[in-house]
Structure 1
Amino acid sequence: MRNKRGSTDFFSFLLYFIDIIIVNLSIYVSFIIKFGFNPPEFNFKPFLDMIPFISISYLIFMYVFGLNDILKNTAFEMIYSISLTVISLLITTSFISFFLRNFSYPRSVLLISTIIQLAFLSFWRIVAWKISRLKHGVKNCLIVGDLSIEDLLKKILCKYKDIYNIKFVCSSNSYNLFYFVDNVDIIFICSDVNAATKNKIIERTISLNKSIYIIPDMYDIALLNSRLTRVDDIPLLKVPRIGMTIEERFFKRVLDIVVSIIGIIVFSPIMIIMSITIKVTDKGNVLYKQERLTIDNKIFNVLKFRTMVMNAEKLTGPVLAGEEDPRITKVGKFMRATRIDEIPQFFNILLGDMSVVGPRPERPYFVEKYNKEIEEYKYRTLVKAGLTGLAQVLGKYNTEARDKLRYDLLYIKNYSMLLDLKVILQTIKIMFIKESSEGIKRDESLNNILQKYNKEITIDRD
């Protein structure tokens, strides 16, 4: 296991090292294209001075846009992430050259190098992706759970079948549980497995040096970031409180004010155009106000561009919008697909009702419903509701409420300014990707999924 870990770490180091070489070599090639093999020192020296800044900036954007985990990305997702990384690097390099007063750094070199970086990084990353998949192979897997097995099984079969082979599926009280554990490479444990069984599985997998993945429950999330302490000679884990300190709330508010003002200024032309378009197309109200809950269950009116017909819920009452909802207008479909309908919420942020990052604000009707069904749902309002959040950048529109809640609780438990900045940048990434369930229909039966992918799995429910 240690050799395997060392091999993985070396591959990651090599991946990033070659990335950095490609990024900087592309700029050097751009100088050759612009000036020939002897570029003027006046122009070339600023590039040499900026190499450390360019390299560090690339590594940051690479991490933010998910290029550090190539195994589970598709080829399209990887190239899309590379495009965003390279564009972000172009913008950052321009700012760095401005602040360092390196005006001799040619702008044409910046543009040419961006094109070269995109081409060479895409080629290299596709090669590395293929190598990573071959190196990983197809691992035999076991899923342990009770009522929550099917959703995880469907998603692995539909998206990760080329790296995970689900060999066994069993309940937490199966007599064959440890036989299955012994005969697979990877174990997935669902959140409804009881603590005693979970501990036994973990002990067994540790002794066998096998990989294990756990869908976290509230207990698992609470233990995150625990600090080792002691009472005399007895070791203890101090579990941090869920929520933010006064200092964290202050700096988060400062970030909210700055980002909301910038957002209002930058998106003001789009807001004007959409206001005119909505008014001209169906002559109804431009903005839509709706009661939502934020921190401490405070009710406020969230602002959105209206995407449905007027009085859409007059007959239906509060219902979640479907993908092909007839109440959505033609302009509304476009705004929802591009998230433009959410832009007016920058005013909610400026007023202090919302934050840039946090759990999405939910309607009181649905909060009451989910509070009855999910005990931990009440913890979402320990922080302000957000324009975007971890559940939005890592989940999908049709992600189940329990899974969105896990992301929200993980955000609250792991809050930091750096996490907020990461989520903001990742939101840019998802803005231009059409929401998709990756070919999975929520009501599609497990048998249909198994037949579609021609899979035979030992399922032990006893």
Structure 2
Amino acid sequence: MDKNTKLKLLTIASVLIDAVFLNLGFVAAFLLRFGFKLPEENFIAYLTVYPWVTLAGLLLFNVYGLYQSYKRSRAEVIASTVWAIVLLLPVAMGMAFFFRGFAFPRTVFVVALILQLIIFIPWRLWLWRLEKKVFGARRLLLIGGHKEIHITRDKIKDNKIDLFEVAGKLAAPGTIEEVKEAINKYRPEVVLIGNNLPDKLKKEILLLTLSENIPVYVIPDYYDIVLSQAKLESIGDLPVFYLEGLSLPAGMQMVKRAMDILLALIALILASPIMLVTALLIKLDSEGPVFYLQERVTENGRKFYCYKFRTMVKDAEKLTGPTLATENDPRITRVGRFLRATRIDELPQLINVLKGDMSLVGPRPERPFFVEKFTDEVPEYALRLKLKSGLTGLAQVEGKYSTSFEDKLKYDLLYAKAYTPLKDLEIILHTLKVILIKDKAS
């Protein structure tokens, strides 16, 4: 039995076990609340909604990638499990209300949440270790430019996921024959092709690996990303790709704006107690205003003032000028360090969302100084300004704090090409997860 078949069977088994454990948490909560003499009216209310609550829980697990957990780090598995269970609580309560299960005790929901966390965290970590053992580290052959393959090798080693074992490296091959020799020598299970190779050679490598049934990863350049998801059309009998640009169609912009207003209002109401406490802590911790207004650039190069809770000492850039914050920046206050780690400093930007300066999801807004600097270095950086900037984005949930601006740009462009309202909801859910992971992108 090959690895893929084993993983499929393991996934099916884990879905079934998850369904059992989800309901075990609710049943155990009933027993703790009422003992073995379960009140009929209350338990019937649970039986009415349990299929839908179970389905919602499994969907949340899937959204958070827990059915391919071998691709994730231990920290991601824990954070994903916690948020999937926590978000199931309001979903389950909403379903109980929708199905008029008013006899479903609210205390059972809360106790079930605690029990499910106790059950699922060790279960999911055990399953994560089993999946990694079944999947194993695949033998990888790196092919690319001299500098590129060393950077890529280091990233693979540093990701703490152990998906791949670098079996060999082939730097700047001149001919396809060199690639054939490397494949015969290293016998890779998968090949990764960098973008610093001549187009002709990349095509030849793709033809070779696909003909040999060797899976391939390709590091895209900006041109590849812009072409992704292009419409295949024809002019006469000539097949062509049709590109409409990165800006969202008018209909999609209206849907996105409606989602922004609704979700930002809900988030502001829920976050208002946290924001009040945060304002008090900032005033007690250091001299200066509670809020920090900074000029940023959004859609089509329009400038606006971005609201944040102040996390640095007063006049932090008075002497240095515009400077990107570092991980251990001495200008950051004690409270500010916590606010940055938990992303609470970004909450005032919900006001920017309501004003229309920003969207909930999109490329992070940057200061004019750095927009100009990055655009000079990488002209494609200007393409991200085709979308309204966001409170969070694909780069923030997929990248890390140390991810280069070039790679973050690729994520921003990929988001522009793949936008759907459901994709926005998925990114928002994953943003909750990365709050609990120290090295994720800011």
Check if 1:311 corresponds to 2:315. yes
* Matched residue, 2:8: 9
Deviation at 1:42, TM superposition (A): 2.0
Whole-Å separation in 2 of the counterparts to 1:311 and 1:99: 52
Check 1:30–1:133 CA distance in 2 against 1; reply closer, same or farther (3 A cut): same
* Matched residue, 1:380: 384
Alignment partner of 1:348 out of 335, 348, 352: 352
User: After the TM superposition, which of the residue ranges 328-337 and 111-120 deviates more from structure 2?
Assistant: 111-120
Check 1:226–1:181 CA distance in 2 against 1; reply closer, same or farther (3 A cut): farther
* Matched residue, 1:131: 130
Check 1:33–1:136 CA distance in 2 against 1; reply closer, same or farther (3 A cut): same
Q: Work out whether residues 140 and 189 of structure 2, in 8 Å CA contact, stay in contact via their aligned partners in 1.
A: yes
Check 1:107–1:138 CA distance in 2 against 1; reply closer, same or farther (3 A cut): same
Whole-Å separation in 2 of the counterparts to 1:31 and 1:328: 47
Whole-Å separation in 2 of the counterparts to 1:39 and 1:362: 57
Check 1:267–1:379 CA distance in 2 against 1; reply closer, same or farther (3 A cut): same
Whole-Å separation in 1 of the counterparts to 2:226 and 2:267: 34
SS at match of 1:103: coil
Check if 1:399 corresponds to 2:403. yes
**1:273-292 correspondence to structure 2 within 5 Å:** 273-292=277-296
Alignment TM-score, normalising by the size of structure 2: 0.91
Whole-Å separation in 2 of the counterparts to 1:28 and 1:276: 42
Deviation at 1:269, TM superposition (A): 2.6
Residue identity matched to 2:181: Y
Whole-Å separation in 2 of the counterparts to 1:161 and 1:426: 18
Whole-Å separation in 1 of the counterparts to 2:286 and 2:39: 60
Whole-Å separation in 2 of the counterparts to 1:280 and 1:134: 50
Whole-Å separation in 2 of the counterparts to 1:56 and 1:172: 50
* Matched residue, 1:148: 148
Whole-Å separation in 2 of the counterparts to 1:160 and 1:181: 26
Check 1:302–1:373 CA distance in 2 against 1; reply closer, same or farther (3 A cut): same
Check if 1:419 corresponds to 2:423. yes
Deviation at 1:358, TM superposition (A): 0.6
* Matched residue, 2:21: 22
Whole-Å separation in 2 of the counterparts to 1:34 and 1:292: 52
* Matched residue, 1:389: 393
Whole-Å separation in 2 of the counterparts to 1:317 and 1:339: 24
SS at match of 1:337: helix
Q: What do residues 3-27 of structure 1 show as CA deviations (whole Å, max 9, x unaligned)? A: 6544443333332232223222433
Large movers: runs of 4+ above 6 Å: none
SS at match of 2:67: coil
SS at match of 1:70: helix
Q: What do residues 189-226 of structure 1 show as CA deviations (whole Å, max 9, x unaligned)? A: 22323322222222111112112112222232233323
Whole-Å separation in 2 of the counterparts to 1:8 and 1:308: 47
Deviation at 1:93, TM superposition (A): 0.5
* Matched residue, 1:178: 180
Deviation at 1:344, TM superposition (A): 1.3
Alignment partner of 1:323 out of 300, 321, 327: 327
Residues paired across the two proteins, number: 436
Whole-Å separation in 2 of the counterparts to 1:55 and 1:153: 41
Deviation at 1:390, TM superposition (A): 0.8
Q: Taking CA–CA contacts closer than 8 Å with sequence separation of 6 or more, which of the two structures ends up with the larger relative contact order?
A: 1
Deviation at 1:101, TM superposition (A): 1.4
Whole-Å separation in 2 of the counterparts to 1:90 and 1:426: 17
* Matched residue, 1:61: 60
Whole-Å separation in 2 of the counterparts to 1:269 and 1:186: 50
Q: Work out whether residues 298 and 388 of structure 2, in 8 Å CA contact, stay in contact via their aligned partners in 1.
A: yes
Deviation at 1:416, TM superposition (A): 0.9
Whole-Å separation in 1 of the counterparts to 2:334 and 2:250: 44
Deviation at 1:113, TM superposition (A): 3.0
Q: Work out whether residues 172 and 197 of structure 1, in 8 Å CA contact, stay in contact via their aligned partners in 2.
A: no
Check 1:193–1:37 CA distance in 2 against 1; reply closer, same or farther (3 A cut): farther
Q: Work out whether residues 226 and 413 of structure 2, in 8 Å CA contact, stay in contact via their aligned partners in 1.
A: no
Whole-Å separation in 1 of the counterparts to 2:272 and 2:116: 33
Deviation at 1:109, TM superposition (A): 3.0
Whole-Å separation in 2 of the counterparts to 1:107 and 1:72: 36
Whole-Å separation in 2 of the counterparts to 1:25 and 1:326: 49
Alignment partner of 1:295 out of 299, 302, 327: 299
SS at match of 2:317: coil
Alignment TM-score, normalising by the size of structure 1: 0.87
Check 1:126–1:275 CA distance in 2 against 1; reply closer, same or farther (3 A cut): closer
Whole-Å separation in 2 of the counterparts to 1:19 and 1:236: 46
SS at match of 2:363: coil
Deviation at 1:378, TM superposition (A): 0.8
Q: Work out whether residues 29 and 111 of structure 2, in 8 Å CA contact, stay in contact via their aligned partners in 1.
A: yes
Deviation at 1:346, TM superposition (A): 1.2
SS at match of 1:69: helix
Residue identity matched to 1:142: L
Q: What do residues 286-313 of structure 1 show as CA deviations (whole Å, max 9, x unaligned)? A: 2222111000000111111222222222
Seq. identity, % = 39
Deviation at 1:122, TM superposition (A): 3.2
Deviation at 1:86, TM superposition (A): 1.2
Q: What do residues 237-290 of structure 1 show as CA deviations (whole Å, max 9, x unaligned)? A: 444532201011111111111222223322223333333333333331222221
Q: What do residues 143-167 of structure 1 show as CA deviations (whole Å, max 9, x unaligned)? A: 1121322332112123357442112
Residue identity matched to 2:138: K
Check 1:287–1:29 CA distance in 2 against 1; reply closer, same or farther (3 A cut): closer
Q: Work out whether residues 185 and 211 of structure 1, in 8 Å CA contact, stay in contact via their aligned partners in 2.
A: yes
Residue identity matched to 1:152: T
User: After the TM superposition, which of the residue ranges 414-423 and 109-118 deviates more from structure 2?
Assistant: 109-118
Deviation at 1:35, TM superposition (A): 4.8
Check if 1:79 corresponds to 2:78. yes
Deviation at 1:424, TM superposition (A): 1.2
SS at match of 2:104: coil
Check 1:371–1:40 CA distance in 2 against 1; reply closer, same or farther (3 A cut): same
Whole-Å separation in 1 of the counterparts to 2:31 and 2:339: 44
Check if 1:104 corresponds to 2:103. yes
Q: Work out whether residues 243 and 413 of structure 1, in 8 Å CA contact, stay in contact via their aligned partners in 2.
A: no
Check 1:305–1:4 CA distance in 2 against 1; reply closer, same or farther (3 A cut): closer
Whole-Å separation in 2 of the counterparts to 1:133 and 1:350: 43
Deviation at 1:126, TM superposition (A): 3.2
Alignment partner of 1:213 out of 211, 217, 225: 217
**1:222-233 correspondence to structure 2 within 5 Å:** 222-231=226-235
SS at match of 2:315: coil
Whole-Å separation in 2 of the counterparts to 1:37 and 1:373: 69
* Matched residue, 1:364: 368
Deviation at 1:232, TM superposition (A): 5.2
